Amino acid sequence: MPPRRRREEKPLPRRLMRFWWRFLVVALVLYVGYTIWLGGAYRSTEPFVAGQCEAVAAPPGPEDMAQLADGAIVASQDRRNRDAPGGLYFYDMSSRPGRFTKLDLPASLVLHPHGISLFTAPDGQMFLHVINHRSAERHTVEIFSVQRPAGAALPVLRHRGSVSSDLFVHPNGIAAAGPESFYLTNDRGSGLGFISQRWMHMVENLLQLARSTVVYHDGRGARVVAQDIAFANGIEISADGGTVLVGSTQWRMLLAYTREPQSGMLLRSGSLALPGGADNIRRDADGNLWVAAHPNAFAFIGHAMDAGKESPSMILRLARDSRGVVQTEQAFGDPGTLISGASVGLHRQGRLLIGAVFQPTVLDCLLDETKLRENAD
């Protein structure tokens, strides 16, 4: 009987190579699955309103709002035609539904607004800070004083000047900290080597890279005070000025930072998971936070590319209970039928205004706060 031939062993380097290729394939599949899950793919939103909402025709892209005593200043930009200038509008809340009126700005100021924020000084003076995308590469913050002459039906905006910095990479949200000081979020990092900022942004989204920053400008200069965030979006300062809240759209989180009032520096102090990617954050007169959230990032991308596609939205209220624990409650949810891609929820005395990134629509809602849903997920 002839001897059995032994199976030839493959060289060790080849076996290691095959192992690492298999490992990389499995890791890639798991990572893609995680990205799809984190982005909320296949996630739907059940229609829900804790009250009644009425759709109001608005200038295109009423993406952010700032609250006044009798209404709201609304930043509008047609993001499907970015070459067209945007504007600032006053939404009169003395009746329901309210009415939009465009506010006068200097003829020399071409405005492509994004986030806005209002600061009220102890003496009652008001200052509006507006992110302005002057071009794809140049971004500024425009600062206005807000005046209400006796008997005037509309607020009057006086342009105080423009602020720029190389650190304003691609600003999204802004929180005014003083007449000339503010925090802003860059929702993406800068270009990297030969890779342009636009292509790098696509890489960041695909690989969930945390390259966003928070920049503080004290009126004299700017510096980065928080970094390593995945798509930093909305930002707000707590009522006592001691905490800065930042929304991470990709992480579906609200990040909390302890603020040093004199230097403006931030120290990460906590986070809160949300049922969607955070957009703008607004604080009401009672100190509660109202957060617009996108439950399905893939649907939002589809809506951004095609106005005919719907994108679900949520408006959440974050409030502390008697024990000081933050409770997340849902005030509004919509699969995209009433409004697609809601970006802000502004609450004032039982009224909730909801704006959107693209649509020429605002929802004016009467809320019954006893009907808010607890523990939205």
DSSP string, 17-50: HHHHHHHHHHHHHHHHHHHHHHTTTT-----EES
- Kindly state the average pLDDT of the residues 19-25: 62
Going by pLDDT thresholds of 50, 70 and 90, the confidence category of residue 324 is confident
CB 118 within 8 A of CB 67: yes
- Kindly state the average pLDDT of the residues 29-44: 54
**Fold held by 17-374:** Neuraminidase (2.120.10)
Q: What confidence tens digit (pLDDT) does each residue in 138-154 have?
A: 999 999 999 988 888 89
Q: What whole-number percentage of the chain has pLDDT above 90?
A: 74
**DSSP-assigned letter for residue 292:** E
The position carrying tokens 């709201």 is: 72
19, pLDDT greater than 70: no
CB 354 within 8 A of CB 279: no
| pLDDT value at residue 275 | 94
Q: What confidence tens digit (pLDDT) does each residue in 271-319 have?
A: 999 999 999 999 999 999 999 999 998 899 899 999 999 999 999 999 9
Tell me the pTM: 0.88
Q: How far apart are CA 131 and CA 172, in angstroms?
A: 7
**299 three-state secondary structure:** helix
- For the sheet with 361-367, list strands across it: 51-57, 361-367, 351-356, 342-348
| pLDDT value at residue 320 | 87
Query: Domain boundaries in the chain?
Result: 17-374
Going by pLDDT thresholds of 50, 70 and 90, the confidence category of residue 204 is low
Phi, psi at 178, each rounded to 5°: -175, 180
Q: What confidence tens digit (pLDDT) does each residue in 123-135 have?
A: 999 999 999 999 9
Going by pLDDT thresholds of 50, 70 and 90, the confidence category of residue 22 is low
Q: Is 85 exposed, middle or buried (0-12, 13-18, 19+ CB in 10 A)?
A: middle
| pLDDT value at residue 163 | 98
Going by pLDDT thresholds of 50, 70 and 90, the confidence category of residue 7 is low
Kindly give the residue spans of alpha helices, DSSP state H, lying in 172-276.
Answer: 197-207
| pLDDT value at residue 339 | 97
Q: How far apart are CA 89 and CA 70, in angstroms?
A: 13
